[in-house]
Amino acid sequence: MTAFESLKESYGEISDLESALSLLAWDQATYMPRGGATSRGFVMGTLASLRHEKFLSETLDKITSEIRADQLDREQKYFFDEFQWNRARARKLPDDFVRDVARAHADSFNAWLEAKKTSNFKIYEPHLTKVVALSRRASDYYGFEDHPLDAHIVSHERDLSVVRLKPMLTELREGTVALLKRIMASPNQPDMKFLETKWDTQKQWDFGVQVIRDFGYDIDNGRQDKTEHPFMTEISPGDVRVTTRLDENDLFLAMSGTMHEAGHAMYQQGMPKSDARSPLRDSPGSGMHESQSRLWEVSIGQSMPFWNHYFPKLQAMFPKQLAEVTPGMMYAAINKVWPTFIRTEADEVTYNLHIALRFELEQQLLGGTLAVKDLPDAWNAMTTELFGITPSSDREGCLQDVHWSEGSLGYFPSYSLGNIYAAMLMEKIEIDIPALWEQVEVGNFKELLAWLREHVHRFGKRLPTRELMIAATGKAPTVRPLLERHERKYSKLYAL
């Protein structure tokens, strides 16, 4: 075995531990009985700590010291560089700390589930306090230039930081606030009355599955289950799972979530199978991953051509509720722009304000200027400021998102980045596939998926986001296409 082959084999074992951790987390969110909660933290802590130990083992010291980077071929170099970056980062954390963090996250996730169910922040507060404190310690271990959040952002977006994100997100926020004002003042508001009824959840499930199968999600190499907070997880290349949430009072919730997670899953399924057990089997950053989920969920799933094709199918499933409704009414309703409390249910315009709120608050939490106990008030105050409405419970406030419970700080900006990248990609796709919308109109997504596979998916983590975007669209990341898209779409919808 060459040194590089030994490296691949050793990394394979690290990747196996990650696979087991993914399954433990999937099970925790889907089928684990409540009685399993305490032990799950121990088990995940032990596996995370073993993964960390393996990463920093003397065996790997020896193997890597034998590798001559200048003698590697291009593919091997991608692998080796990615491995070394991750290893250098892992080296900064003490082993005990890694185990404690994994335990704390598992426990905190369980507390969050419980707290959200009963809208009781008190259950969650001590856990989130611990998670924030551990995250702050992690920032110190990792090191950072300006803001402790930078140390976390870099794990999602390698070249970004608070300072670098701010200009883009501020441009997006200001453009959004201006557009929102005009939309709210428009007399042409869509009819939302027909939505106020019950929607059989089994039918909602069936509709969603049909749509994502049509998109190209290979559900035979994955599966869908129900969870409180939908997510996608890759257990292995042939086992890429999604989850969704169903609510009989909400027609759009499961639909949007299902398309969103399938977008993530198709990204994973589009990566080379030969990248199994390799660190290259991922997106270069979460923003890129979110671009795929948001593209399918919003750019496609909330387009008029999509509804021209799918509305009759939905109507056949709900003949009574949708008897008087047209595809145009459906399109207007699913695109209704208005201030709401829940991020995952938000329209695509206000969506980015939800991100602005979270990004601001996580800076304060980690920066130490906001105590966890004051989070509910701060959340509600900022909701009032940005949206002009105030949550009546923490369930529709600071308890709605799973991310912080799992220690995922600095992740939220990735959603707005995803929207930005998705708009850029769509701009190019509409040029490269002139018949795109005619195809969508007949439920044919083959050319679109092939384009994404060719220009995005197949690279895995080989190119950094910026390079990937330039290669795919000819442009460096810019907010303009997204703002233009909003302007175009909503000027028409609201006759601005």
Which residues have a catalytic role annotated? 261
Nearer to a second copy, 186 or 201 (CB): 201
114 token code pair? 């419980």
Residue among 124, 129, 149 at smallest CA distance from 138: 149
The count of chain residues that interact with a second copy, using the rule CB under 8 A, is 39
Give me the 180-219 binding string for a second copy, x by CB under 8 A, dash otherwise: --------------------------------------xx
CA 313 – CA 125 distance, rounded (Å): 45
Q: What is the 3-state secondary structure (H, E, C) of 217-275?
A: CCHHHCCEEECCCCCEEEEECCEEEEEECCCCCCHHHHHHHHHHHHHHHHHHHCCCHHH
**Per-residue interface string for the shown chain with a second copy, residues 40-59, x marking contact by CB under 8 A:** x-xx-xxx--x---------
Tokens at residue 54, please?
A: 């393996």
Binder of a second copy out of 2, 5, 27, 454 (CB under 8 A): 27
Q: Which two tokens stand for residue 67?
A: 């590798």
Residue 33 interacts with a second copy (CB under 8 A)? yes
DSSP state of 391: -
The least distance separating a second copy from the CB of residue 463, rounded to whole angstroms, comes to 25
For a second copy, the binding residues in 215-254 under the rule CB under 8 A are 218-223, 225, 235-239
In this structure, which amino acid lies at residue 257? G
CA 312 to CA 384: how far, in whole Å?
39
Among 4, 8, 17, 376, indicate the residue that binds a second copy (CB under 8 A): 17
| Tokens (6 digits) for 210 | 């049909």
Least distance (Å) from a second copy to the CB of residue 98? 13
Least distance CB 208 / a second copy (angstroms): 18
Least Cβ distance, residue 152 to a second copy (angstroms)? 27
Indicate the burial class of 492 (C-beta count within 10 angstroms; 0-12, 13-18, 19 or more): exposed
SS3 403: helix
Query: With binding defined as CB under 8 A, does residue 319 bind a second copy?
Result: no
Contact with a second copy (CB under 8 A): which of 36, 143, 167, 474?
36
Nearest by Cα to 64 from 131, 148, 104, 7: 7
Residues shown for the chain: 496
Task: Give DSSP secondary structure letters for 42-59.
Answer: HHHHHHHHHHHHHHT-HH
Q: Position of tokens 């201006």?
A: 178
Q: Which one, 219 or 470, has the nearer CB to a second copy? A: 219
Cα–Cα separations (whole angstroms), residue 258 to 207, 251, 264, 346 = 10, 12, 10, 15
Out of 3, 6, 37, 360, the residue judged to bind a second copy by CB under 8 A: 37
Complete edge-to-edge strand list for the sheet that includes strand 232-236: 224-226, 239-244, 232-236
Residue whose CB is less far from a second copy, 28 or 161: 28
Residue 106 C-beta: closest distance to a second copy, Å: 12
CB nearer to a second copy: give 27 or 454. Answer: 27
Could you tell me the smallest distance in angstroms from the CB atom of residue 7 to a second copy?
Answer: 16
Residues from 133 through 152 that contact a second copy (CB under 8 A): none
Q: Which two tokens stand for residue 232?
A: 């996608």
**Single residue of 7, 24, 232, 337 touching a second copy by CB under 8 A:** 24
Rule CB under 8 A: is residue 305 a binding residue for a second copy? Answer: no
Which residue number, 83 or 379, has a Cβ lying nearer to a second copy? Answer: 83
Backbone angles phi, psi at 298, to 5 degrees: -100, -60
CB under 8 A, 24+ apart: contacts of 434-440: 437/303, 437/305, 438/305, 440/300, 440/303, 440/305, 440/306, 440/309
Residue placing its CB nearer to a second copy in the complex, 219 or 325: 219
- Token pair 């069936």 is at which residue? 206
Nearer of residues 17 and 211 to a second copy, judged by Cβ:
17
Nearer to a second copy, 208 or 284 (CB): 208
Sites of contact with a second copy (CB under 8 A):
12-13, 16-17, 19-20, 23-24, 27, 31-40, 42-43, 45-47, 50, 218-223, 225, 235-239, 276-277
